[in-house]
Amino acid sequence: MDKSKKISYPPDISAELEDLYHKLNLSYERLQQKLNEEYQTGEMGYPENSAEVEPPLILLDELNLPVDLVKEVICDISKMLGDVLEEDSRKELKKFVVSLQKGDISLKEIISSYPYDKELLEKIKLDEQLFFKLMLFTLRPFLQWMAAGDENLESVKNRWQDSNCPVCGAVPELARLTEEDGRRMLWCWLCSTEWRFNRLTCVNCGEDKAEGQLYFVVKDTPYRVDLCESCQGYLKVIDESKVPEKDRQSLDWFLNDLGTQHLDRLAQKEGYMRG
């Protein structure tokens, strides 16, 4: 019997999330076009020659993103997120956008303090998780565009040995074990860069798992979750050899991320934490 028939893929996501996913993609495509036509990565703070720069290449507090355009994107994304939020959060988000538009909150300050700044969070009166998501979805297309336009990126990645993203320094959100040779590739949810990292080293604390990586598998899916007993860290992993062949080429990181939120909840319930 063909084993792959039993595997459930792509991941199950709710109609609401699927709608959000499509809307985000459409909005990113439009933005991408605008960025290509009107902007240069260098003017936004991306290194002119990344081959000569020590990664991470982007420092969020030194970025010079076009404020008006970022505001447009935040408003756009707030509307999309509003559709999938409870009434209270939707109102909170609306208030935040209004004060941003009025200039009560400095966008530059927000960008440079992303992702964790307790003082700022108190000032903007937005739920931490909601703020995090809003800024992630807003900054992602800009950072993704910068990384995608870098001709030197392959060589930067080849000499990079760390578990944080060589482009923006963020911690990896997901990994995949490649179908051809089982290498572990890490994926950055902020700039969508993918880079290689030792399969048997914890991405959180750097401990070597020479005796074998601890993990749990999710039955009938290509997913597993790598665990570390030393730091209680976890990492979601897609085992590509279990993904039906027709879907392998177009493995969509973002879709897999949205479709594996239940694994985060599961790991966190067991006492594990993301890096």
| Residues in the chain, overall count | 275
Residue closer to Zn ion by CB (options 58, 110) is 58
Which CB atom, from 124 or from 263, has the smaller least distance to Zn ion? Answer: 263
Binding residues for Zn ion restricted to 98-117, rule: CB under 5 A:
none
Please, are residues 243 and 6 in contact by the beta-carbon 8 Å criterion? no
Beta bridge partners of 175: 186, 237
Site mask for Zn ion (CB under 5 A), range 143-172, x = bound: ----------------------x-xx-x--
- Select from 205, 214, 217, 273 the one that contacts Zn ion (CB under 5 A): 205
Rounded alpha-carbon distances, angstroms, from residue 7 to 73, 179, 203, 219: 37, 15, 27, 8
Q: Which is nearer to Zn ion, 124 or 170 (CB)?
A: 170
| Burial class (CB within 10 angstroms; exposed 0-12, middle 13-18, buried 19+) of 241 | middle
Strand order from edge to edge, sheet including 214-217: 194-196, 184-187, 174-177, 234-239, 223-227, 214-217
Which residues, 176 to 195, sit near Zn ion by CB under 5 A? 188, 190-191, 193
**CA–CA distance, 169 with 147 (Å, rounded to integer):** 12
User: Does 50 contact Zn ion by CB under 5 A?
Assistant: no
The correct pick among 55, 141, 222, 233 for binding Zn ion (CB under 5 A) is 233
Q: Is 231 in the site for Zn ion (CB under 5 A)?
A: yes
By CB under 5 A, the count of residues binding Zn ion is 16
Q: Residues interacting with Zn ion, by CB under 5 A?
A: 165, 167-168, 170, 188, 190-191, 193, 202, 204-205, 207, 228, 230-231, 233
